[in-house]
Chains A and B, each alone.
Chain A
Amino acid sequence: MSVRFAEIVMACVMAAFSVYLMWKSAELNIGWIEDEGPGGGAWPFWLSAVMLLSCAGIAWNWWRRSTPLARSTEPFIGSAALRIVLQVVVLLTVVVALFDVIGTYCALFLFMLVYLAVIGSHRLPVALAWAVTTPVVTFLFFEILIKVILPKGVTEPLFYPIFRFFGMGGI
């Protein structure tokens, strides 16, 4: 896929999103209400309309080949770069999905381990050291210091003794 092709695909996707936003805004009043001023939908409606207009402007520039991107025949992303970016995106998605299942801390452990060992090709002891340290430091900072309770999924009961140790038995 060339940059030029990606440019028009993105403009079309964003134009479609703009139309969706206009339609969604129109669920509220987009006109003038006596003694109340503009209706609740007017502001997002007209902004979305300007978004649509901008997409038309981008498409017009694309058609006339008047910007460097609209002329570029280079690939949108190289195959090596695509592989690593996709790996990272998939890994991030899986990890976030795991937050609610096996808990944030186990998910972070897996994330660091896989990222360092597979994507970063570090040696296993290095990867393990970071994979253990990261969730521990995260726990101490978030749960103990600033009292933000992160999702723990099925691992919830394992944390009761730790909270008791820090004198937070009630949680």
Chain B
Amino acid sequence: MVEILALLADGFGIALQPLNLILIVLGCSVGLFIGAMPGLGSVNGVAILLPLTFVVPPASAIIFLAALYYGAMYGGAISSIMLGIPGASTAVATTFDGRPLALQGLADKALITAATASFVGGTISVILFTLAAPPLAHVALVFGPPETLALMLLAFATFVGLGGDDIWKTIFSICIGLVLAAVGTDIVSGEPRLQLFGLTGFFSNINFLVLAIGIYGIGEMLWTIEQTAKAGGASMLSRATVSVRRVLAHLRDQLTLWKATLMGSLLGYFVGILPAAGATPGSMMAYGVAKQLSANPDSFGKGNPEGVSAPEAANNAASTGSMLPMLTLGIPGSPTTAILLGGMVIWGLEPGPQLFVDEKAFVWGLIASLYAANLFALLLNLTFIPAFIAVLRLPFTILAPVIFVLCLVGGYAPTNRMFDVWLILVFGFVGYLLRKLDYPLAPAVLAIVLGPMTEPALRQSLLMSGGDLAIFFTRPYSGPIMVVAIALLALPLIRRLVRRFRTG
């Protein structure tokens, strides 16, 4: 415990350096902005802006992106409440009660509830994170290839078991991501592999950012353009009256919401830790549970502040929670952390438990920055609510081309290859079509990040055992993880059988 506090103090020494402090404030602001824009969420922001962070040292880069991740969780609520359109998928549940509050002239109350609940959720989970990370990393230090493979399988299995999307499409998405990660050279023999269509560009690996920017940048923008064309470009911005007296009164009211906020924080944290789950299901679940626990569940959906505080606490808590497996085990807890993980590899850091031994400054600087980011996001949010509302008035036809430019140029920057820019366009267009047909694409991005770790883990394990698959089930850590993973993979089948049995 004392040791953790000492490490955390060192971390604050790093997080509070002038450069990092500026990056935290900048990251929070950009995140708030991106989160507030309909159609863009933390994952889009992190994917599009990651190439821009090569200018600063890795610790500062991840501090910036983590602050952006955090800010986006706050920002998503702004457009959910003011426009009735979720700023990000993580803020969908916030619209259910946030929008009715705004229509009743209580937009400021909804915004303040969202901001304070986000702060509480973020703070509780970052404290839990600080306590849980070192022991978990300690356990993970004994992990060998079979354990790594079991963890990877667990990450993919949660998508299949808990994802809620079409199972065949989820499996397809995972496999295509893993195959794309295998393009380039065979890691063991060094032979060229999968030179698709004979193009020389495929002689080297496909950078995960190419897929991430394609899907979350180009694809997402095409999707949003289509949606706005359908809606006729109508904007339904609510009016918000803000005064100091009203703000103070609303802040006092927050105390009555403690139950929903606390529940949302804890639920969000634990859902966030699960690979593949992340902040969106976390906030949805928190909304559902808050409704069940509430004294008057009937008022939900009609402007109950509890319906704002629970999901907002949960999405911030989940965003912190999802960094726990990323840092300690090297597997991401959400699509956004998958991209952060890929970034760490680019920065020359080996994600996983060894980080806690070799890169103490990096890890603890990041953890300390989460405390700071939380505070700054709250302050920025409360101070600049009117400014963010003004930003929401910026026409989408100006914002969209600016984001396209960032995608194209940002996609060129990591590798300096025009081939990658073309690939981004192809992935973006195909991703857009697949998304229209409800193919989940987050698993593909997760898979292309995890692919380069999954394949060697599998091959080394099989080499250790001479081709015997039993090695995954007989070791003390990998065995139970494999069992859980297989149970998750079988979950949809079991569910279907139960349903068939019930209906007779």
Which chain A residues have a beta carbon within 8 Å of chain B's beta carbons?
Answer: 3, 6-7, 10, 14, 21, 24-25, 27-28, 32, 36-38, 40-41, 43-44, 47-48, 50-51, 54-55, 57-58, 61, 67, 69, 76-78, 80-81, 84-85, 88-89, 92-93, 95-96, 99-100, 104, 108, 111-112, 115-116, 119-122, 130, 134, 138, 141-142, 145-146, 148-151
Bound Cα distance from A119 to B229, whole angstroms: 11
Across the interface, A40 reaches (CB within 8 A) one of B54, B55, B191, B409, namely B191
CB-based closest 3 A-B pairs: A120-B397, A40-B186, A57-B168
A80 vs B225: C-alpha distance in the bound complex, in angstroms?
11
Given contacts A77-B436, A111-B404, 4 further A-B pairs with CB under 8 A are A57-B167, A81-B226, A96-B425, A122-B395
Q: Are A28 and B193 in contact (CB under 8 A)?
A: yes
A69 touches B437 (CB 8 A): yes
**B434 contacts across to A, CB distance below 8 A:** 10
Q: What A residues does B179 contact at CB under 8 A?
A: 21, 44, 47-48, 51
Which of B168, B395, B409 has a CB less than 8 Å from the CB of A138? B409
| Residues in B neighbouring A21, C-beta threshold 8 A | 179, 194
Residues on B with C-beta less than 8 A from A115 are: 397, 400-401, 404
C-alpha spacing A96/B434, complex, angstroms: 23
Expressed in whole angstroms, the Cα–Cα distance for A30 and B96 within the complex equals 52
Decide: B405 and A138 in contact? CB cutoff 8 A: yes
- Give chain B residues whose Cβ lies under 8 Å from the Cβ of A84: 225-226, 229
Residues 71 to 129 of chain B near chain A (Cβ within 8 Å): none
Q: Flag if B422 contacts A96 (CB, 8 Å).
A: yes
Q: Which residue of chain A has the shortest Cβ distance to B53 in the bound complex?
A: A146
On whether the beta carbons of A43 and B168 are closer than 8 Å, the reply is no
Q: Which of A36, A38, A93, A100 contacts B425 (CB 8 A)?
A: A93
Complex CA–CA separation, A21 to B178 (angstroms): 12
Tell me the interface secondary structure of chain A in the complex: helix
Q: Does B253 contact A (CB under 8 A)?
A: no
Q: How far is the CA of A121 from the CA of B398 in the complex (A)?
A: 10
Q: Are B458 and A88 in contact (CB under 8 A)?
A: no
> Given the interface contacts A78-B230, A138-B409, A148-B412, does A43 sit within 8 Å of B182 by beta carbon?
yes
Name the distance in Å between A171's Cβ and chain B's nearest Cβ: 14
On whether A67 and B166 interact (CB within 8 A), knowing A14-B172, A78-B230, A85-B222, the answer reads yes
Nearest-neighbour CB distance to chain A for B428, whole angstroms, equals 8
B194–A112 CB distance below 8 A:
no
* CB within 8 Å for A148 and B405 given contacts A54-B175, A99-B421: no
Residues from chain A with Cβ under 8 Å of B421 in the complex: 96, 99
Q: Which partner residue on chain A sits nearest B464 by CB separation?
A: A37
Can you report 15 residue pairs joining A to B where beta carbons are below 8 Å apart? A21-B194, A28-B193, A43-B459, A44-B179, A47-B175, A47-B182, A77-B226, A78-B230, A85-B225, A104-B409, A115-B404, A142-B409, A148-B416, A150-B412, A151-B418
